[in-house]
């Protein structure tokens, strides 16, 4: 009996914690907007190419992570490499949905938390990267030691309209919402890319980006719920990428956190 009482008390404690968490209505693209921009290596015979790819991306809002996102993305970029520096620029578009589900919706006070929803969304944006690198003596490795990267995007659709509606009306008690549609994420990255010694058509790259989305933290409004201390204090974010190039085909795996915790897989081709 004592064990049952302890177990029930523990479950009640967990329920209290969950109830105290905010639900964040964030822009869907956060965490997935800083995509990898392919460009040639310095030792390659081709110094410029166009890279196209398709991505499947997922993300979850912070804290309780109850708001989730699924996105399909199309990406295109142009990459150029010169002696000692490189540049890339491109565009992307995405289509997907935002989903919010309760474990027990009957236990939720409609004035406290956001209702269940499954809303469509879409958007488009631009990306750029410019940086410096060192080539190894044998030409098989480029150390792209510093790159300045940017992504500007515009989000539309029913989910963006819903965020704006909540932002401009009475906000649910345990909700934080941003009405931001246009996002500018900027920061610095470092990368290493190398090719196989015996087959220069096989390349691997690892990239790490650190930056932030300007004004993101200040774009939120908060309800007057119990989670009064749970506020966005930073607009900082990061992403990690692995890129594989085999002849003209590419694969990239990416994970990021820019308020939303996100991941993405992409398949592409170079022209």
Whether the pLDDT of residue 62 is over 50: the answer is yes
Surface-to-core class of residue 173, CB atoms within 10 Å of its CB (0-12 exposed, 13-18 middle, 19+ buried): middle
Q: What is the pLDDT of residue 154?
A: 98
Q: What is the pLDDT of residue 50?
A: 98
CA angle, residues 154, 156, 160, in degrees to nearest 5? 110
Q: What is the pLDDT of residue 229?
A: 62
Whether the pLDDT of residue 3 is over 80: the answer is no
For the chain, list the domains and their CATH numbers: 40-270 (2.40.128.100)
Q: What is the mean pLDDT of residues 188-208?
A: 96
Provide CB contacts within 8 A for 258, sequence distance 6+. 30, 31, 33, 34, 185, 212, 213, 216, 236, 237, 238, 239
- Dihedral sign computed on CA atoms, order 125, 248, 189, 128: negative
pLDDT band at 110 (very low <50, low <70, confident <90, very high): low
How far apart CA 255 and CA 93 sit, in angstroms, is 19
Q: Which residues pair with 57 in a beta bridge?
A: 71, 264
What is the per-residue pLDDT across 130-166, written as a single tens digit (0 to 9) for each? 999 999 999 999 999 999 999 999 999 999 999 999 9
Cβ–Cβ under 8 Å, residues 68 and 59: yes
Q: What is the pLDDT of residue 5?
A: 40
216 or 234: which leads in pLDDT: 216
How far apart CA 36 and CA 212 sit, in angstroms, is 16
Q: What is the pLDDT of residue 9?
A: 38
**Mean pLDDT score of the chain, rounded to an integer?**
89
Whether the pLDDT of residue 20 is over 80: the answer is no
Work out whether strand 141-156 and strand 182-195 pair parallel, antiparallel, or are unpaired.
antiparallel
How far apart CA 241 and CA 235 sit, in angstroms, is 20
pLDDT band at 22 (very low <50, low <70, confident <90, very high): confident
Q: What is the pLDDT of residue 89?
A: 98
Q: What is the pLDDT of residue 114?
A: 83
pTM of the model: 0.88
99 or 197: which leads in pLDDT: 99
Residue with tokens 């520096």: 85
Q: What is the pLDDT of residue 112?
A: 75
Cβ–Cβ under 8 Å, residues 208 and 188: no
How far apart CA 93 and CA 96 sit, in angstroms, is 10
How far apart CA 267 and CA 211 sit, in angstroms, is 25
Q: What is the mean pLDDT of residues 118-127?
A: 98
Q: What is the pLDDT of residue 1?
A: 52
Whether the pLDDT of residue 223 is over 60: the answer is yes
- What percentage of residues in the chain have a pLDDT greater than 90? 76
User: Where in the chain does DSSP place strands (E)?
Assistant: 23-25, 48-60, 67-81, 85-100, 117-135, 141-156, 175-178, 182-195, 202-213, 220-222, 236-246, 249-258, 260-270
Q: What is the mean pLDDT of residues 229-239?
A: 85
Q: Quick count: other Cβ atoms within 10 Å of Cβ 186?
A: 15
Provide CB contacts within 8 A for 12, sequence distance 6+. none
Cβ–Cβ under 8 Å, residues 62 and 31: no
């Amino acid at each position: 009996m004592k064990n049952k009482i302890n177990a029930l008390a523990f479950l009640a404690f967990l329920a209290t914690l969950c109830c105290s968490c905010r639900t964040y209505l964030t822009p869907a693209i956060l965490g997935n907007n800083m995509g990898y921009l392919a460009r040639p290596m310095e030792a390659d015979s081709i110094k410029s190419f166009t890279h196209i790819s398709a991505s499947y991306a997922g993300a979850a809002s912070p804290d309780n992570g109850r708001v989730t996102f699924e996105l399909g993305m199309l990406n295109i970029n142009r990459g150029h490499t010169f002696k000692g520096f490189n540049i890339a620029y491109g565009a992307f578009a995405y289509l997907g949905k935002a989903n919010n589900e309760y474990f027990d919706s009957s236990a939720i006070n409609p004035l406290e938390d956001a209702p269940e929803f499954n809303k469509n969304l879409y958007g488009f944006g631009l990306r750029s990267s410019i940086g410096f690198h060192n080539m190894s003596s044998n030409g098989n490795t480029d150390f792209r030691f510093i790159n300045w990267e940017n992504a500007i995007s515009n989000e539309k659709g029913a989910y963006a309209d819903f965020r704006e509606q909540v932002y401009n009306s009475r906000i649910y008690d345990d909700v934080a919402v941003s009405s931001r549609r246009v996002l500018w994420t900027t920061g610095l990255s470092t990368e290493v890319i190398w090719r196989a010694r015996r087959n220069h058509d096989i390349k691997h790259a690892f990239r790490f980006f650190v930056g932030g989305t300007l004004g993101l933290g200040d774009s939120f409004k908060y309800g007057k719920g119990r989670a009064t201390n749970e506020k966005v204090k930073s607009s900082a974010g990061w992403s990690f990428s692995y890129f594989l190039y085999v002849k003209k085909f590419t694969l990239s795996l990416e994970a990021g956190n820019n308020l939303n915790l996100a991941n993405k897989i992409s398949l592409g081709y170079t022209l």
